[in-house]
Chains A and B, each alone.
Chain A
Amino acid sequence: MQLETPLWKRVVVWAAVLVGLILAAPNLFYSRVETHNDAASAIAKAEKLGGAATPDQTAALAVWPAWAPSGLVNLGLDLRGGAHLLAEVKLADVYKQRMDAFWPDARDALKEVRDATGPVKRKPSPDGTLRITLTNPEGMPAALAKLQGLTANVVSLTGAGQKDMDIVADGGDIVITLSDAEKAATDTRTMQQSLEIIRRRVDAAGTREPSIQRQGADRILIEVPGIGSAEELKAIIGTTAKLTFNTVIGQGSDKAANPGVGNLLLPAADQQGLYYTVEEAPVVTGDDLVDAQPSFDQNGRPAVSFRFDTSGARKFGEYTGAHVGEPFAIVLDKQVISAPTIQTAITGGSGIITGNFTVEGSTNLAVLLRAGALPAEMTFLEERTVGPELGQDSIDAGQIAAITGMVLVGVFMQASYGIFGFFANITLVISMGIIFGILSMIGGTLTLPGIAGLVLTIGTAVDANVLVYERIREELRHAKTAARAIELGYERATSAIVDANVTTLITSIVLYFFGAGPVRGFAVALFIGIITSVFTALFVTRLIIQVWFNWRKPKTLIV
């Protein structure tokens, strides 16, 4: 009696195995393929910018053939070394900026109804609200109507048709806040901008494969392999780099001085004990910049030169034209870098920031200004750094553990099931190969717990085979023919195999959503491991047994 499987099924199974193993192959030449991949992405980047590959890059590209698959299993931060940061974006910062920026507009608009309202004044209020007092409360309806005219419709899918600001009368005051719909739309924008700016800054720092993801409503997870420490990473992305040009109202040495409503008291960056009072609403901001470059001033000191876009240039030109002889402040992240006096109207749209810079400092500032300011401040909730040495130790230890585990399991299977154990061992090696193939294909990340997941899979991978073999033994006891016993063994063990593994699949899915970083790597390894080991046990081992059975045609079967 022959064991039969349709040809198409055999072809599909062997093809799947072959594809899996081919995809896994590059991992055997890890550093070589990695050099190739790095060169390929560097060349692609250079060509996008109109450049060409350097000889070094071409040489690096050639270490691995272009036709061969080049997908690799990514190593997680705990294996490669690198930094992991969880940042929280202070979304409310933006509400405050919006309200502060709205005050000059509101003031100008209310001037037109001054006859009815009398002079208006901004009153102190919590961040994110604007409170305006009217001298004549009788003018309230006119004032409200005027301010309503300044509101716009919210631009978002969910908030369509709603106004961007809530303007209400509270006694003789007008209280203005962002509407909920506008807050939601603003939050989305703030997060997108923050992500984009962090990405630009990390890219500018030139590290490999950074991962920058939004998490939840106001968080960003940043993972950068190969960076020395979380501090270094924070220095790159933690700086807001908010550049503004503000009107100077006064200066002094009292750090507790009351700047007055709508003004700010800011320290000078290069002079201890000097404080400037500046108008909070800036004349122009870093958003209006189109370029910033490190340079030197006329005295040869490091400086940063910049260029405004058209609207920025116009605003700056108008302002400097109207305020010749007055000082203005160049403010970076709430510190006054310098406060030069305006000599003449600056209409060309470009200028230079001088201050107490080092060459490195001016280069960094230029990078930050080019990448743009973060729309809101960030705080860091979680930081993890792993050095490359520890990562390498973990890889070594994991490898030893995995090989030992495989050998021990292999010996046990051989001793318990003889030739059938040997078949199970072949499939075990194949399934490990396929797991690496799938991980490489989907760009999965291997972490230290992920290695543990693979080792656990070694144990469970043979489980499905054990279930089948035990079942075949039982069926043999009932004196069936050998071929029938094998078929029944597979048939009757399948439901137990599937049920037992679906539960582990459920666990790995929960783990994936529950964990981040290393734990997630474990979940992925476990998930792929289960699918692969069930596939190989049910199909690959079976085909191997079939080939053997049809070739040797054993009269009696000893499992």
Chain B
Amino acid sequence: MIQTSARLLRRLLAVIAVIFVVWAFAKVGVREVQRFWKDDERTEIVVMHWSGEGGQEEDQIVEDSLRQFERENPKLRVRRINPGDAGSFYTKLQTMMASGDPPDVFYVGSERVPAFVSLGLLAPLDDFLKIDSQLNVKDRIDLEGFYPATVQAFQYDGVHSGEGAMYGIPKDFTTVGFYWNKDLFARAGLAPPSQNWTWDEFIADARAIGKLPDCTGAEFVTWPAMIRAYLMTEGVDVKGNSFDEPTTSNREVFAALDRLRSWRHDESGTLTSGKSKIASGSSVFLNGKVGLAGPFGRWVVPSYRKIPPRDQGGFEWDFAPLPRGKVDSNIVLTVSWSISSQSKHPQEAWSLVRFLSGEPTQRALARLGLAIPTIRAAAISESFNDPNQEPANDAGFLTAADRARIVDWPTNPQFEALLGSRLDQGLKTGDIPLTEAIENFERDWRVQSQSPLHGDSFLAMPWTALGWVALIASIASLIVWIAILRRGNLPAHLRSQERAGYFLASPWLVGFALFMAFPIVMSLALAFARWKGVSPLNSAEYVGTANFQQLLQFDQRFRTSLLVTAYYAILAVPAGQILALLAALLMNARVKGIHLFRAAWYLPSVLAGVGVSVLWRWIFDSDGGLMNAALQPLLTPLGLTAPEWFGQDAAIWGAPAFALMSLWFVGGTMIVFLAGLQQIPVDLYEAASIDGSGKVRQFWSITLPMLSPIILFNAIMAIIASFQVFTQAFVMTGGEPGDLTRFYVLYLYNQGFEFYEMGYASAMAWILLLVVLALTVIVLRTSNRWVYTEGQKV
């Protein structure tokens, strides 16, 4: 009875599984077929955008505009992709470009234009504009009506921004300035900032508010673009004639930067300390204890509008443009609609860009309060200047626009990344002197710009030849393998069993070949190539060993990341093993509810990932984090202060903080140890106790030797894992300050996915493999001295 029902159940499950598989295939098949049929009539254009700060509303407005466009153009069909925020957008865009199937129309931030243009990703739009104006098309785009700086931001001639061809039609923009807390200004008896206030007035206001109890004068973010905006108000910049000759150590530049550093680090309460990783950026303003926050653009407005009114515990606020120094200046940050150079329907794409950049769409978006229309007429209209909504000073953004300039960047994205990361060490965390930070920046940038990988042109990667070699090699190895199998001379019934075995394993074997072996071989080939990762593989160039040469000979950051990782490994591996073993010994006790304790120890291993990393960022925060709150009472009697883990003390305490955090995940290792402990025969302990051993002696004489094969296994796994730290560092510090927490794999990620150096990153991956392999071999080689494998056999 029970057997029949079990059999029935099994059959039922099998039928369900088969139905599910058939259904899944059918569904996908039908969808693909449908797409082909429908496409016969209408041309499909793919549009991709993000809606980070604008949220659902921005998403809806774009959707409505596209439906409107489809109504007006019945021969076109628009497919929309919205990956979410800007970060996800660029990741998605990169993969789509690399696969040779980019969207036709997409957002591009002006800061990316030089890099994208130099990679040949964007189509120039000048011809479209010219033809439109010759034909006098009804909705043609008149760039004269745009704010000039927003137009310049998408012009690039290969060297300079603001000149040359047009690569996008700006859809919105912002100027920057400081958001100020009206209530705190009133309490400090200060006059509101004027439309053309100065840095002296700014700092005087900040100091006054800093004197109020429990208040800070200003949050001054040191993002690279904002640093340049600040420098421009003093009539200087970080680039000389070109980006290859940075002017960061010029006297005037240094003086301006040092003034900023001094405001933060020589005074107390004037600027936020820069200690905290979490309490920084636009969110600091929300607590009502900070007088000014900036330089920010318009994008913070949606979140600031959620600040409740004064009678509900909130405060009133407004916007003031960037203060002036020697020069009254501002910057423009803008996003365009651009067209892919790979688009198969450029004409249709252009008509869509024309529609989306037009005044009606811009006005619709402006009502959100987030975007400032790039078309002057729309910007000064009531769509943007809504008197019923904060900030009152909408006009401040627009008056600043007339004196604003573009912030251009070189084609190599590392300039911006290095500038931000290095200067932050001097300006924000203050863990090294400003002069040293500037020197580091200039040195690291020089290494980058003089790399043999930049500038020179190389031969194309001989993919066809490599493909043949790979094909022949794999066929040859297959033949050899089959020959080896044949030689086994098995009787017929065993041979058929063997065939069945391989047949059953074949899904895995095919999967392994496609998804593991192929990418591994590809990465090996790419380690000898220059490939940007945003263009199809046939654009890869063969560079010989240049990647390895640059890495091993010149790249200081590579060395630093290896050292940081090794430092972490030296701490985390032994500490993790010891703690896991101690925990396993405890959890091996026969106590009531021991299963509960075991589960509790194991639980954190289940919770790994981004969420836990965010949690630990809070714990290690130098400004009120749990860790320091717990440590300080212990350290104060000794005359010590708790370290600023990811701030001033990051050189010593950055990697150890991650090692400490890694102890949170010892549960998995502990379970393996626990299983090992339970395998040790009890009579060995009894024999030892009769032979005269106490508990401690038994641990050294019985437990450790008997456990040694498991210790070996766990240690090797831990060593491998310790060289693969990524998520924690990526989420918690992003490698900052400087490169002090830039773990190897994080730097690999930076190179591959942020600087578009996929070949370089592949070379790094192979070096990592060699390092881990070497360490594993060393450990295995020494293991016959301390591992007693006999323990498993007797």
Co-assembled chains A and B: no
**Which residues of B are interface residues toward A (Cβ below 8 A)?**
none
**Which residues of A are interface residues toward B (Cβ below 8 A)?**
none
